[in-house]
């Protein structure tokens, strides 16, 4: 349970897997790959973090929001596979930032998730990634991230 020990050392408690808000599953496995559906940001009380980065939230708040989402993604992944030590590597993130037209710092916002994954998994946490700005996200959430993970045999 090396990953669990690292999470504990970082003071991170994983949440339960998300409950889909439409007709989809939180995670889908094919072969050794797990595709995690887009996750939004939840506050401690379970409410959504909403608004536009660049207007309602700063880039730093966006970064923290993306970090929270990465923790949520790991909670869903743990529910799906049981043992986070079975992760061979984080393959890819796709991050969407609900932002103003002028905001151009999407990569640094999504770094909140990327940095956390590298903190937790080391080299296995380094991944391919896209960071996209958009004018709207469901329920006006500030950031949404999906992830692809490879697990051991």
User: What pLDDT, on the 0 to 100 scale, is given for residue 44?
Assistant: 86
| Stated pTM of the model | 0.96
pLDDT at 5: 94
Domain count of the fold of the chain: 1
For residue 5, tell me if it sits in a domain: no
Query: Which long-range contacts (C-beta less than 8 Å, at least 24 apart) are formed by 132-136?
Result: 132/94, 132/95, 132/96, 132/97, 132/106, 133/96, 133/97, 133/99, 133/103, 133/104, 133/106, 134/96, 134/97, 134/98, 134/99, 135/98, 135/99, 135/101, 136/98
Please compute the mean of the pLDDT values over residues 119-127 and round it to a whole number: 97
Domain assignment present for residue 32? The answer is yes
62-86 pLDDT, tens digit per residue, is 999 999 999 999 999 999 999 999 9
Examine residue 79 and state whether it is found in any structural domain, yes or no.
yes
The answer to whether residue 77 sits within a structural domain is yes
By residue range, what is the domain housing residue 128?
27-40+48-151
Percent of the chain with pLDDT over 70: 99
Whether residue 1 is contained in a domain is answered as no
- Specify if 9 maps to a domain: no
CATH for 59: 3.30.1330.40
Give the model confidence (pLDDT) of 39-64 as tens digits: 999 998 989 999 999 999 999 999 99
Averaged pLDDT score across all residues of the chain: 96
144 assigned to some structural domain: yes
């Amino acid at each position: 349970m090396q990953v669990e020990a690292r999470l504990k050392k970082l003071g991170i408690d994983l949440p339960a897997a998300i409950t889909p808000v439409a007709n989809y599953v939180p995670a889908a496995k094919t072969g050794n790959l797990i595709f995690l559906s887009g996750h939004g940001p939840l506050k401690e009380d379970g409410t959504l973090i909403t608004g536009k980065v660049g207007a309602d939230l700063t880039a730093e708040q966006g970064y923290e929001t993306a970090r929270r989402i990465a923790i949520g993604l790991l909670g869903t992944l743990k529910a799906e596979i049981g043992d986070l030590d079975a992760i061979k590597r984080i393959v890819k993130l796709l991050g969407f930032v609900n932002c103003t037209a002028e905001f151009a710092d999407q990569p640094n916002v999504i770094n909140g998730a990327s940095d956390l994954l590298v903190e937790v998994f080391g080299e296995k946490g380094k991944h391919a990634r896209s960071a996209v700005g958009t004018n709207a996200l469901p329920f006006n959430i500030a950031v949404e991230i999906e992830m692809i993970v490879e697990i051991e045999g």
